[in-house]
Amino acid sequence: MRYLLNKSFSNKLKKELKNEKIGKKEYAQELFENFHKYKKDNLGAKLHKVRVAKEGKGKSGGYRNIVFWEHKKLVVAVYIFSKGDKDNLSNEEANYLKILAQQYEKFTEVSLNKAVKENILEEIDYEK
C-alpha cells in the first residue's frame, strides 16, 4: 500500500500547520492512522472524509481531510479544510474531487512513480 499527498493538499497543509506544534509528516502519519482505525465518512467515488484533531480543539474543531482510497493499492490525501473555516464541502468541490478520484483510479505503478518523481504526489512513509 502506498500513502501519498497530492500537491494542493501538501501546500494547504503546510499553511494550516504554520502555527501548530506538529509537522507535515507527523500530521500525515496521524491522518493515515486515523483513516485505518477510526470512522470515516464515505463520500462516494472512493473518497472518504477523515477527521483529525486540532490541538486544544479535538476532532470536532479540527481538520477535515478528503482521502482517495484504492483498496490494497494506495491512499491519497487530496483535500483539507479546517472545521472552523467551513462545515462541509460545497457541491462544486465534491464534484471536482470525484473527477479527480476517477483520475487516481487510472494510475498504474509506473504513473504513480512518475507523479512522485515530478512532485505531483508526495509519498509518505507509513506502515499500519
pLDDT, tens digit, for every residue of 44-54? Answer: 999 999 988 88
Domain range for residue 97? Answer: 2-123
**Would you say residue 48 lies in a domain?**
yes
Q: What pTM did the predictor assign?
A: 0.90
**Would you say residue 128 lies in a domain?**
no
**Would you say residue 58 lies in a domain?**
yes
pLDDT, tens digit, for every residue of 26-66? Answer: 999 989 988 888 778 999 999 999 988 887 776 667 899 99
**Would you say residue 6 lies in a domain?**
yes
Domains in the chain, number: 1
Q: Is the pLDDT of residue 87 over 90?
A: no
**Would you say residue 68 lies in a domain?**
yes
Whole-number Cα distances in Å, 111 to 22, 70, 105: 31, 15, 11
Residue-level pLDDT at 96: 96
